[in-house]
Amino acid sequence: MGKFDGVLLASDFDNTLLYTEESLRTGAPVPPLPERNREALEYFCAQGGRFAIATGRALPAFLRHAGDVPMNAPGVVCNGAAIYDFEKGEYLEAAMLDAAARDRGQAVLDRFPGVAVEAYHIDNVIHVVRPNEISRQHEHMTHVELTEAPSLPEVPLPLGKLLFEADHGTLEQVLAFLTEQGWAEDYELIFSVSHLLEMTIKGASKGGMVRRLAARLGISMEHVYCAGDEANDLSMLQAAAEGFAPANASPAVLASGATVVCDVREGAIADIIGILDKRYS
């Protein structure tokens, strides 16, 4: 028995657990996990806590990092489209986009020539239609090769997520277009960063899947804690008993009522575990 038995901590990966922004912008190598975070996570897990990743990344874009992260629970991937058991190597739950999403996504591409879209297939293939500079930066950072398709309707199903890529002003227009068509009510549409607009089926969010994960683990939401830095993390921060944000988080997250800890580069997860260590003493 450990002091963290019955406690779940779920964390976003990029710029919450590990700083990757520089790698995305410059192509520099992704840095190692901060040693403070590693030591704190090993302690948390040894004391009975369950640690899970909750990432917007497709599974193949996270798998290369999975062995470097001390975690002992299945994780949320594709921004809440699925729960994946890393130990068993299998999906436990998935909430896939409907077939209409491809046609609606193609309508976006037809309307906005500068937009690219990545389509995340459940078989761990990332397709891309009309790749742009952002797509290639993303590909370089994740080291996952994109499979180019001529159009979205030609991308095979099932798909967990569409990821629209363009400058923020254009993506704001994309969001307005989807809303004007009456399609927004069928999907979760959220910015993971300013130049990435995520589209998953309604109800497929990090918050929803963290709730399902906690139920699978038999852990009450009163003992679920979440950490994140961007708007796509808000649903799980709000679902948690307490949400945490690194000091580098977006303004929306910093204003959300989340407890702010140190910058990701200083080991934000270690700060969170330090708070929980006092709470469960």
Q: Residue 16 is encoded by which pair of tokens?
A: 């919450």
pLDDT digits (tens, 9 = 90+) for 86-108: 999 999 999 999 999 999 999 99
Architecture of the domain spanning 100-201: 2-Layer Sandwich (3.30)
Please say if the pLDDT value at position 27 is more than 90: no
Task: For residue 245, give the nearest of 215, 216, 275 by alpha carbon.
Answer: 275
pLDDT grade for 1, boundaries at 50, 70 and 90? confident
Please say if the pLDDT value at position 64 is more than 90: no
Residues of the chain with CATH 3.40.50.1000: 8-95+204-279
User: Tell me, what's the pLDDT at 47?
Assistant: 98
Residues of the chain with CATH 3.30.1240.10: 100-201
Percentage of the chain lying above the pLDDT 70 cut: 100
Please say if the pLDDT value at position 50 is more than 90: yes
**Residue where the block lists tokens 């997250």:** 253
Give me the mean pLDDT over the 162-170 stretch: 97
pLDDT digits (tens, 9 = 90+) for 142-154: 878 899 999 999 9
User: Tell me, what's the pLDDT at 124?
Assistant: 81
User: Tell me, what's the pLDDT at 141?
Assistant: 78
pLDDT digits (tens, 9 = 90+) for 192-208: 889 999 999 999 999 99
Give me the mean pLDDT over the 261-266 stretch: 97
User: Is 230 or 64 the better-scoring residue by pLDDT?
Assistant: 230
156 touches 121 (CB < 8 A): yes
Q: What angle do CA 16, 88, 54 make, to 5 degrees?
A: 20
User: Tell me, what's the pLDDT at 144?
Assistant: 82
pLDDT grade for 22, boundaries at 50, 70 and 90? confident
Give me the mean pLDDT over the 76-81 stretch: 94
Tell me the one-letter amino acid at 194. S
What is the third-level CATH fold of 8-95+204-279?
Rossmann fold (3.40.50)
pLDDT grade for 122, boundaries at 50, 70 and 90? confident
pLDDT grade for 259, boundaries at 50, 70 and 90? very high
Which 3-state string (H, E, C) describes the chain?
A: CCCCCCCEEEECCECCCECCHHHHHHCCCCCCCCHHHHHHHHHHHHCCCEEEEECCCCHHHHHHHHCCCCCCCCEEEHHHCEEEECCCCEEEEECCCCCHHHHHHHHHHHHCCCCEEEEEECCCCEEEECCCHHHHHHHHHHCCCCEEECCHHHCCCCEEEEEEECCHHHHHHHHHHHHHCCCHHHEEEEEEECCEEEEEECCCCHHHHHHHHHHHHCCCHHHEEEECCCHHHHHHHHHCCEEEECCCCCHHHHCCCCEECCCHHHCHHHHHHHHHHHHCC
State the pTM of this model. 0.91
Please say if the pLDDT value at position 279 is more than 80: yes
